[in-house]
Amino acid sequence: MGEFQKLAKLSDLQEGKVFVAETRYHKVGLTKLGDEICAFADVCTHDGEEITEGDLEGDVIVCPRHSAKFNIRTGKVLCMPAVEDLPVYKTRIVGDDVEVELED
């Protein structure tokens, strides 16, 4: 189990846009989907590319290099060439802060 870390303010997040937060060990993509905040690793599991550079289509992010697709709610890989799911993280709102549970 990890610890929750403050990575953004609610006002930093917009529907349909990805906000990238950097921690000491991780880059995390964050976005707002309705009332839900999604957080996911900023790395394509196929080749290590920064996935947040790709297009966000609803709850699916598309890798900019080889078009692998992932569901950002569940992390499930949706098409080749990726075969490994995208790491996703639990989020919570504390006041106006968006906190994400990360392993160190």
Q: What is the pTM of this model?
A: 0.94
- Is residue 85 within 8 Å of residue 100, measured between CB atoms? no
Question: What is the rounded CA–CA span in Å between residue 102 and residue 81?
Answer: 27
DSSP state of 85: P
The pLDDT of residue 49: 86
Among 5-9, 10-14, 22-26, name the one with the lowest average pLDDT. 22-26
For residue range 28-80, list pLDDT tens digits in order.
Answer: 999 999 999 999 999 999 988 899 999 999 999 999 999 999 999 999 999 99
The pLDDT of residue 104: 66
Domain regions of the chain by residue span:
3-102
Q: What is the mean pLDDT of residues 78-102?
A: 97
Question: Comparing C-alpha atoms, which of 51, 15, 7, 57 is closest to residue 32?
Answer: 15
The pLDDT of residue 48: 87
Question: What is the rounded CA–CA span in Å between residue 100 and residue 18?
Answer: 15
Please provide the CATH number assigned to the domain covering 3-102: 2.102.10.10
List Cα–Cα distances, 6 to 23, 35, 100, in angstroms: 10, 18, 6
